[in-house]
């Protein structure tokens, strides 16, 4: 069964450093998402991406964040200058959809980002 994959599974970085989290969505999906979950808290929407552009973003997704689909398979989240409070589990998801209504979102296993 197709699945969403994410690399790395765990990333440790120093405050102020740039990180790139990578995702490979399910191949025929058209809608892509990033979420984060701070330990013990709920899953928070960061951004959605469709047709090579951002569809929606949350207040969390400020100028320090960017997303890219550099080729036909990868979907990346970049944090330019990490802060301690960026430490969280980051989930990528993808979904299919018809007539602008998205279908089930399938989640990757997550990347645990630790900022020291």
Partner 1 sequence: SQQGEEDPQALSIQEGENATMNCSYKTSINNLQWYRQNSGRGLVHLILIRSNEREKHSGRLRVTLDTSKKSSSLLITASRAADTASYFCATDLNTGGFKTIFGAGTRLFVKA
Q: Which residues bind partner 1 (CB under 8 A)?
A: 31, 33, 35, 41-45, 48, 50, 55-56, 58, 89, 91, 93, 101-110
State which residue, 17 or 44, has the beta carbon closest to partner 1: 44
- At closest approach, how far in Å is the CB of 46 from partner 1? 10
State which residue, 14 or 28, has the beta carbon closest to partner 1: 28
DSSP state of 71: S
What does the H/E/C string look like for 14-38?
CCCCCEEEEEECCCCCCEEEEEEEC
> Whole-angstrom Cα distance, residue 107 to residue 6?
9
- At closest approach, how far in Å is the CB of 74 from partner 1? 19
């Amino acid at each position: 069964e197709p699945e969403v994959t994410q690399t790395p599974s765990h990333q440790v970085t120093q405050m102020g450093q740039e990180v790139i989290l990578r995702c490979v969505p399910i191949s025929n999906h058209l809608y892509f998402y990033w979420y984060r979950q701070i330990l013990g808290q709920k899953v928070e929407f960061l951004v959605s991406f469709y047709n090579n552009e951002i569809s929606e973003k949350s207040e969390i997704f400020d100028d320090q964040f960017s997303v890219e689909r550099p080729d036909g398979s990868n979907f990346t989240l970049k944090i330019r200058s990490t802060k301690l409070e960026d430490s969280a589990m980051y989930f990528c998801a993808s979904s299919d959809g018809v007539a602008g209504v998205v279908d089930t979102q399938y989640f990757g296993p997550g990347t645990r980002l630790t900022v020291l």
